[in-house]
A and B are shown apart, each in its own frame.
Chain A
Amino acid sequence: MNGTSAQDRIVKWIDQRLPVFTFMEHELREYPTPKNLSYWWNFGSLAGFVLVVMIVTGVVLAMQYTPHVDYAFSSVERIMRDVNYGWLLRYIHMNGGTMFFAVVYIHIFRGLYYGSYKPPREVLWWLGLIIFLLMMATAFMGYVLPWGQMSFWGATVITNLFSAIPWVGDNIVTWLWGGFSVDNPTLNRFFSLHYLLPFVIVGVVVLHLVALHAVRSNNPLGIEMKGPQDSIPFHPYYTVKDYFGLGVFMIVFALFVFFAPNFFGEPDNYIQANPLVTPPHIVPEWYFLPFYAILRATPDIVIPFTNVILIEAKLAGVIAMFGSIVLLFFLPWLDTSPVRSARFRPVYKYFFWLFLVDAVVLGWVGGNPPEGMFIVIGRIATAYYFLHLLILMPLIGRFERPRPLPQSISEPVLKGGGRAAASASAKPMEKA
C-alpha cells in the first residue's frame, strides 16, 4: 500500500479517510487463524453465503409477489410460470431455507463437539443462538407467504401456541393475527417481517464476526493458539479452503434445486389455503420437527397423587419447546468440564453422539402423527434432551477424567510420526 502507482495513491487517499483497506488487511490477511481447522469449520462461511443468497433471491422474488390472501398463491405460480427464470429464483429460495438450516445445524453441532461455547466464547455462542432464533422466525413466516394449505395451517397451529399463555394468551393471539383468525392482516405483517428480519440477522452476524475476531476461532484440539507457530493468516489459507467447501456445497444445493426441487416440500402446499379444509396431518418443515416433537410430547403436569392440573399439556409443551433452546444459552455453565474438545473427553464424546441421535429421533417423531408408539418415543426422547443438558453435562464434566491435552497446536504436528512431519511443520514457524 506504499507504492506510487495511481491505484495505490487512490487506495491510500480513501484509506486515510475511511480505513476500509486497513480493516480488510487486518481482518483477512493478518487475522491469525489456528492452522489445524478441519472442514467442519467451513460451515460458518457457508451459512453466511446462504444468507446472502436468500436475501438476493428474496428481494427479487418480492418484486413479483403479492401479499394478499386472494393473490398470494397465484402470484407465486406466476413467478414459477411467467417470470423469466422465476422458477429458478423461487426454487433457490425455497431450497435455500433447507440448506441454511442444514448448514447451521452442522455449525451448531460442531460447536457442541469442540466446546466452542466455553470461555472466552460465551457471547459468540449467544449471538449464534440469537441468529438461530431469528432464522426460525424468518423461516416460519416465509413458509406462510405462498399461502398454500400447509402455510395457512402451519401458521394457525404455531400462532395458536401463544394462546397457552395464562390469562392473556387469547388476546395475544388476536393481536398477532390482526383479527380473529389467520387472514389477510396476518399475511401482510408476516411478509413485512419476513423482509425485515434477514437484515436484523445480517446485523447480528456482524456482531458474531466481531466477537469471533476478538476471541479468535476455536479448533479441533480446543486449546488456544500459543504463538505465531500455531496460526496461519486467514487469507489465503482459509479463503481458498472456504471456496473449495463452497464449491462442494453448491453442488449439493444445485442437485436439489435442479433435480429434486420439491424433495423437502409438502405436496399440500401446492393446494391453495382453504380455512374450511384442515389437512389430516399438519407438519412443519423438517428443520422444525425436533422442536415440534418436544412441543407435542408433554402431558398435563399434575400435582402428584391428585387430579389437580398444575400446568396444562399445551402450556407445558410450549414451555418445553422454548426451554429446549433457552437452555442452550446456559451451556457454558451447564458444561462443567475445563476441556473444550470432545477429542480429549472419553465419556462426553459418546454422550455427544447420543444427543445427536436423540435430536434425529425427535425429528422423526415430529414428522409422524402423535399416536401410539410415537407418543412414548417422543416423551422418552424429550426427557433425554433435557436430561442431557441439565444433568449429564454438569455431571460428566465433574467426574470424567479428560485425556492429556497437547502442549500446543503445533505439537501434535511435530510429534505426528509417520510422514516427514517435523521438517514440513518447521517451515511455517520460520516464516512466521
Chain B
Amino acid sequence: MRRSLFAVAVAAALSVAVAGPALAEEQGQGSPATHETSLASQKWSFSGLFGTFDQAQLKRGFEVYNNVCSACHSLKLVAYRNLSAVGLSDDEIKAIAAAKEVPGEPDDEGNPTTRKALPSDHFVPPFANDNAARAANNGALPPDLSLIIKARAGGPDYVYGILTGYGDPPAGFKMQEGLNYNAAFPGHQIAMPKPLNDDQVQYSDGTKATLDQEARDVVSFLNWAAEPELEARKRMGVKVMLFLILLTAMLYAIKRKVWADVH
C-alpha cells in the first residue's frame, strides 16, 4: 500500500507543480488532491470514547445504500434482521427482505426452487457471482461493503473522501479510458462512476439530501455494518475501565500496606 502511496505522492507533487492553479480551483469541491494522508479528518458521532451511532442517521444511510450503492455493491455479512438496529420495524424488515429472491430447498421432484428472502437471510448480492459483477461493471469488481470501513486505511474518513472526492482531473493529468478522477483514491483513477449527487435520494425523514449529507449518512451506516458491536463495546469499555481503575487503586493501597514494614 505504501509503495503505491509513494507513487501517488510523487504524482501529486508533479501535478501540483504542473497544474497548481487548476488544482486550487478543485479544492473547493472536496479533499485536496494529494495522497491518502491528506484525508480530512471528519467529525463522526461514533468516534471517541463515548461515541454512539445516530440512529436517524443510520436509517438515512441505509436508504442511501439501498437506493444507490446496492445496485452494484453487496453487503453479504449483514442480515436483514440486523436492520432493527437501524430503526426499522419488524414489518418493514420483512417487506425489504421479501422483495428479494433466494434459492430455496429442492421441491418434491428435486427441481431447484426459489423463495422470498426472510429477515434471517443475509443481504442478497446484486450479482450472481464475481464474473457477473465484472461483466456489468466494465471489468471492475465492486467490493463487498460489509467491512469496507475496517478494510481501508483511514476508515470512515477514507470512504467519505472517496464519495466526495470526484471532480475533473487537473490539467495535464492523463486519464485512462473508462476511469474517473477521484482526489481521495490512491492513483486518482477509480472505476466507480460518481455515485452520489445532490438529491440523489429522497430521505423518508425529510432531511435535505445534499451530497455531503448523503456521504456522511452512508458512511455512518457502513461503519455500523462493519462494527455493529461498537456501541456495546464502548459502553462495556467504560464500565470495565472504571472497575479496573478502582480495583488497581485498591490493589495499590494493599501493596503499600503489605510493604510498609520492608521499606
Contacting residue for B151 out of A88, A254, A259, A267, CB 8 A:
A267
B68 within 8 A of A: no
Q: What number of A-B contacts does a CB cutoff of 8 Å give?
A: 101
Known A-B contacts A87-B229, A281-B3, A371-B3; the reply to A237 vs B234 at CB < 8 A is no
Q: Which of A74, A91, A267, A270 has the most CB of B within 10 A?
A: A267
Contact with A along B118-146 (1 / 0, CB 8 A): 00000000000000000000000001001
Residue contact B1 to A241, C-beta cutoff 8 Å: no
Residue contact A259 to B244, C-beta cutoff 8 Å: no
Residue contact A240 to B255, C-beta cutoff 8 Å: yes
B152 to chain A, nearest CB (A): 5
Residue contact B244 to A251, C-beta cutoff 8 Å: yes
CA distance A184 to B118 in the complex (A): 32
**Nearest opposing residue in chain A for B248, CB measure:** A247
Residue contact A247 to B262, C-beta cutoff 8 Å: no
B56 within 8 A of A: no
A338 within 8 A of B: no
**Nearest opposing residue in chain A for B76, CB measure:** A74
Residue contact A240 to B236, C-beta cutoff 8 Å: no
- Residues B235-262 near A (CB distance < 8 A): 236-238, 240-241, 244-245, 247-248, 251-252, 254-255, 258-259, 261-262
Q: Main SS of chain B's interface residues? A: helix
Residue numbers in A under 8 Å from B232 (CB-CB): 87
Residue contact B152 to A267, C-beta cutoff 8 Å: yes
B43 within 8 A of A: no
A262 within 8 A of B: yes
A255 within 8 A of B: yes
CA distance A280 to B36 in the complex (A): 15
A77 within 8 A of B: yes
CA distance A240 to B257 in the complex (A): 10
Residue numbers in B under 8 Å from A271 (CB-CB): 143, 147, 151
A365 to chain B, nearest CB (A): 13
- Residues A312-365 near B (CB distance < 8 A): none
- Residues B170-204 near A (CB distance < 8 A): none
Known A-B contacts A254-B237, A267-B150, A267-B152; the reply to A241 vs B77 at CB < 8 A is no
Residue numbers in B under 8 Å from A120 (CB-CB): none
B4 within 8 A of A: yes
**Nearest opposing residue in chain B for A421, CB measure:** B263
- Residues A238-291 near B (CB distance < 8 A): 240-241, 243-244, 246-248, 250-251, 254-255, 257-259, 261-262, 267-268, 270-271, 279-281
- Residues B1-16 near A (CB distance < 8 A): 1-4, 6
Residue contact B241 to A368, C-beta cutoff 8 Å: no
B17 within 8 A of A: no
CA distance A258 to B236 in the complex (A): 8
Contacting residue for B244 out of A91, A241, A250, CB 8 A:
A250
**Nearest opposing residue in chain A for B4, CB measure:** A280
Residue numbers in B under 8 Å from A270 (CB-CB): 147, 150-151, 226
Residue numbers in B under 8 Å from A280 (CB-CB): 1-4
Known A-B contacts A262-B150, A267-B153, A270-B147; the reply to A88 vs B1 at CB < 8 A is no
Residue contact B262 to A237, C-beta cutoff 8 Å: yes
Residue contact A428 to B262, C-beta cutoff 8 Å: yes
Residue numbers in A under 8 Å from B244 (CB-CB): 247, 250-251, 254
Residue contact A369 to B151, C-beta cutoff 8 Å: no
Residue contact A257 to B237, C-beta cutoff 8 Å: yes
A266 to chain B, nearest CB (A): 9
CA distance A262 to B154 in the complex (A): 12
Size band of the interface chain A makes with B: 35 or more
- Residues B216-230 near A (CB distance < 8 A): 226, 228-229
CA distance A212 to B146 in the complex (A): 50
CA distance A241 to B2 in the complex (A): 44
CA distance A257 to B263 in the complex (A): 36
A299 within 8 A of B: no
A35 within 8 A of B: yes
CA distance A237 to B254 in the complex (A): 10
Residue contact A251 to B251, C-beta cutoff 8 Å: no
A372 to chain B, nearest CB (A): 9
Residue numbers in B under 8 Å from A77 (CB-CB): 77, 146-147
A227 within 8 A of B: no
Contacting residue for B240 out of A232, A258, A261, CB 8 A:
A258
Contacting residue for A281 out of B2, B236, B247, CB 8 A:
B2
A199 to chain B, nearest CB (A): 29
Residue numbers in A under 8 Å from B259 (CB-CB): 237, 240-241
A412 within 8 A of B: no
Contacting residue for A87 out of B143, B147, B155, B233, CB 8 A:
B233
Residue numbers in A under 8 Å from B255 (CB-CB): 240-241, 243-244
Contacting residue for A268 out of B6, B151, B252, B262, CB 8 A:
B151
CA distance A261 to B255 in the complex (A): 31
- Residues A409-432 near B (CB distance < 8 A): 424, 427-428, 431
Residue contact A281 to B248, C-beta cutoff 8 Å: no
B5 to chain A, nearest CB (A): 8
A161 within 8 A of B: no
A26 within 8 A of B: no
- 29 A-B contacts, Cβ less than 8 Å apart? A35-B262, A74-B77, A77-B77, A80-B229, A81-B82, A81-B229, A87-B232, A88-B236, A232-B262, A237-B259, A237-B262, A240-B259, A244-B248, A248-B248, A258-B234, A258-B236, A259-B237, A267-B155, A268-B1, A270-B147, A271-B151, A280-B1, A280-B3, A280-B4, A281-B1, A281-B4, A369-B2, A369-B3, A427-B261
Q: Known A-B contacts: A258-B233, A267-B153. Give 6 more (CB < 8 A).
A: A237-B262, A240-B251, A244-B252, A250-B244, A267-B151, A280-B3
Residues of A within 8 A of B (CB): 35, 74, 77, 80-81, 87-88, 91, 232, 236-237, 240-241, 243-244, 246-248, 250-251, 254-255, 257-259, 261-262, 267-268, 270-271, 279-281, 368-369, 371, 424, 427-428, 431
